Amino acid sequence: MAIAVRNLTKEYGTQRAVDDISFDVKTSEILGFLGPNGAGKTTTMKMITCYMPPTAGTIEVDGLNIYDHSIDVRRKIGYLPEMNPLYLDMNVLEYLDYSARLHGIEQSAIQSRIKEMVDVCGIAEVRHKDIGELSKGYRQRVGLAQAMIHDPEVLILDEPTSGLDPNQIVEIRNLIKRLGSAKTVILSTHILPEVQATCNRVLIINEGKIVADGSPQQLQRDFTGGESITLELKTEVTDPLQEIAPKLQVIAYVKNVTLLSHEEGISRFELHVDKGTDVREAAFRLAVSENWVVLELYRKATTLEEVFHKLTAA
């Protein structure tokens, strides 16, 4: 088990930013750590990295607690904070060399590590430029390179794709997934589709407390009140609301049927069904028996955005 958090609390005066939370993160797990602004996720990540001490509770990284083994814990972690720790007057290679030496990498290995990070993070074409001259996207890549240059066992990334264009986001997503096969990754982001595409587990924090923990698919199943099926049919009927909808309504587990559109013989319906049921096969068989041509038939899944909103909206 790579990270164990127990009864973690952080107070700022009378404000409790993190309120008695506990969770584990295993090796080879990519954890999406989500929450609205001010929920406590960045504070939690800062405590795990030994950037700030907890008010109460314990954190262990690879069996080492942050109180007695702070330096050893830091050696095991690569950290990209939300505010990228860059020296704008350094050029990229100088900065990575400086970061490598800070992490205690042997002098003989520094250049090979820098070369690997330049290639992995896609910064070869700007490696001789001053960081102050770089776009936000390239600065973010340089920040990722410094977080990974010492080949840490744990990566903690706070908004790692901030400022990147769509192509760069896909590249960083693939990089994180590759790294997650051998490392422990905690990823915080507001781009929820990225979480769905990258993470195998999601933890949502709100007002300092954990409100959800599970795979993206599990959360989508658990936090929906009902489900719906979209069905598009090509038929000869003139009034689908009277001639088709009542027949769909009698399918088992269908609560109600909504006609979304009807144009040029094509009717589009939404079937609202009981949670946990799947009526697609029954709908298809009905269409065949009625000689309706099925153009589209799919079950609408609750999105991670909907789950997030349900759990964190005021």
Query: Could you read off the pLDDT of 250-291 as tens digits, one per residue?
Result: 999 999 999 999 999 999 999 999 877 889 999 999 999 999
Q: Over the chain, what is the mean pLDDT?
A: 90
Residue 221 has pLDDT above 90, yes or no: no
- The count of other CB atoms within 10 Å of the CB of residue 293 is 13
For residues 14 and 68, what is the distance between their CA atoms, to the nearest angstrom?
27
- The count of other CB atoms within 10 Å of the CB of residue 297 is 17
Paired with 234 in beta bridges are 266, 293
- The count of other CB atoms within 10 Å of the CB of residue 220 is 18
Helix (H) or strand (E) holding 219: helix 216-222
CB 129 within 8 A of CB 92: yes
Paired with 209 in beta bridges are 206
For residues 146 and 149, what is the distance between their CA atoms, to the nearest angstrom?
5
Q: What are the backbone angles phi and psi of residue 178, rounded to the nearest 5°?
A: -65, -45
For residues 97 and 105, what is the distance between their CA atoms, to the nearest angstrom?
10
CB 128 within 8 A of CB 159: no
Query: Which of 3-17, 152-166, 280-294 is predicted least confidently?
Result: 152-166
Q: Locate tokens 């094509």: which residue?
A: 266
Show me where the domains of the chain are located: 3-221, 227-306
Give the pLDDT mean for 241-246.
95
Q: How much of the chain, in percent, has pLDDT values that exceed 70? A: 98
SS3 category, 203: strand
Give the pLDDT mean for 204-233.
86
* CATH tag, 227-306: 3.30.70.3100
Q: According to the model, what pLDDT value does residue 314 have?
A: 62
What confidence tier does 226 reach under pLDDT thresholds 50, 70, 90?
low
- The count of other CB atoms within 10 Å of the CB of residue 254 is 19
Q: Which CATH number fits domain 3-221: 3.40.50.300, 1.10.260.40, 3.40.50.620, 3.40.980.10?
A: 3.40.50.300
For residues 92 and 149, what is the distance between their CA atoms, to the nearest angstrom?
13
Most confident of the ranges 127-141, 156-170, 181-195: 127-141
User: At a CB cut-off of 8 Å and minimum separation 6, what does 130 contact?
Assistant: 88, 89, 90, 91
Give the pLDDT mean for 31-59.
93
Give the pLDDT mean for 225-244.
90
Angle at 71 between CA 67 and CA 75, to 5 degrees: 125
